[in-house]
Every structure is written in C-alpha cells, then in structure tokens.
Amino acid sequence: MYNFWPTSNRAPWSGNVTQDMLQGWFSPTINVEIEGDAEIEEKIIREHASYGKQLGRLADAVLALAKHADATNLKEVKDLAEIAVPIKDAVKAHNKQKQQIVDQAEDAMARLAEHDAGAARRIASRFFK
C-alpha cells in the first residue's frame, strides 16, 4: 500500500504548532561569553547590577578621577567621555519613555476605576498571580 503522506510531512494540526515565529524580534537575547564562574556572574547580574550598570559606574568613577587629577585631556579619557554621553542620553530617554507609559497606565486605570471598579480590579489582578 502506498503511503500518501511521507513521514516528513504532517497533516494540519498533527504536530507541534506552537512555534515562536518572531523569536528575538521583540525581546532580543544577548549571549555573553563569560570567563570565570558563570554561576557567580549570573547571580551578580540578577541580584546586583547588569554589565551596563557596572560599566556605567566604572566610567563615572574614571571620569571623576580624571577630572580631579586634571587628566581630562588624555586621549583615553576623552574617548571614554565621548561614548559615555550618548549612553547616558539613551538611558535618560528610555527611562522617560518608561515613566510616560506608567503615567498613562495609571491614568487609564484611575479612569476605569471611577466608572467600573470591578473591571479595574479584574484587570489589575491579571498582573499579580
């Protein structure tokens, strides 16, 4: 008997149909090669500070020390200062946008609570399970 469906093909809904089609588009993954103990690095990042925050604090410290030592004309200090400014600007812009979203959400929930407190509670409870 001839098998109409070769084993490499599947009928609709017969196999795994839950596939992430936009993997990495909206939540990019950053893979970092870690020298040393990956478990310790992950714990530090999760509980204390991301690599970006660590580097930002180090850059701030170096720039402050360079200013105090009157070494701001060194090429390396100028290079560091040159990249630190747009990074700080990007962080500020991101935080401002995030705060605007929070403000809009709070305003919307307050308006909803005035008109339908039960609906506001139901919606809020979806985020705290």
Question: pLDDT per residue over 78-93, tens digit each?
Answer: 999 999 999 999 999 9
Please list the ranges in the chain whose pLDDT falls under 70.
1-34
Where are the chain's structural domains?
Answer: 38-125
pTM of the model: 0.56
Can you give the pLDDT at residue 34?
67
Using CA atoms, how far apart are residues 121 and 117, in angstroms rounded to an integer? 6
Name the nearest CA neighbour of 59 among 88, 16, 25, 28.
88
